[in-house]
Amino acid sequence: MPDSKEQVFREKLNLERSASKVNSLVLSKLKYDSYIEKVTSLKTSSKKENNDLRFLRRYDIIEVSGITKLIHPVTDQENIKYYVFDEELFGVLNEAHISTGHGGRDRMIEQLKGKFQNVTTKDILLFLRLCEPCIQKLNHKKKGRLVVKLLLFKEVKSRCQVDLIDFQSQSDRDFQFIMVY
């Protein structure tokens, strides 16, 4: 998808974010970076308050090819779940969508839930509503359904079209109409 799609997504996302109540899962890049800093300093600090411990139960960091990433704390290194910040959300969703061959909601959820901690179904739906090929496919399906429905008659000649031709002005004795069947 070209960059303009990402811009539209970001605008809609921002609208949705500002309309909903404060969601603890939502991370801006700024918040994301501050959380990384907080984890780093808390880990080296000897004195931890209760809410610090709570914070560390939700957030941890890991270094991936020189970049520090925010993750959900894990004991099992195989199954690391990353936090995603809003500025990179489009890229994450787009990759999952394309790698599943324009996968729908359920396939996207399946693809993302094991890798990311804070991608929501709402985010996925927002993304899907903006994918042009998917919208067209959906519209095509809807149109197709309508045509199939019209042709679903149980028996041959169970429906017909009837019309009347008006000959009242030139009636043939009592006959004033011709019925076209």
Site of interaction with Zn ion (CB under 5 A): 102, 131, 133-134
3 state SS for the chain: CCHHHHHHHHHHHHHHHHHCCCCCCCCCHHHHHHHHHHHHHHHHCCCCCHHHHHHHHHCEEEEECCEEEEEECCCCCCCCEECCCHHHHHHHHHHHHHHCCCCCHHHHHHHHHCCECCCCHHHHHHHHCCCHHHHHHHHHHHHHHHHHHHCCCCCCCCCCCCEEEECHHHCECCECEEEEC
Closest distance to Zn ion from the beta carbon of 177 (Å): 56
Q: Among residues 62 and 130, whose Cβ is nearest to Zn ion?
A: 130
Q: Which is nearer to Zn ion, 34 or 136 (CB)?
A: 136
In whole angstroms, how close is the CB of 1 to Zn ion at the nearest point? 9
For Zn ion, the closer of residues 106 and 166 by Cβ is 106
If the CB atoms of residues 70 and 131 are measured against Zn ion, the closer one turns out to be 131
Q: Give least dist CB 153 to Zn ion, A.
A: 36
Q: What's the min distance (Å) between Cβ of 131 and Zn ion? A: 3
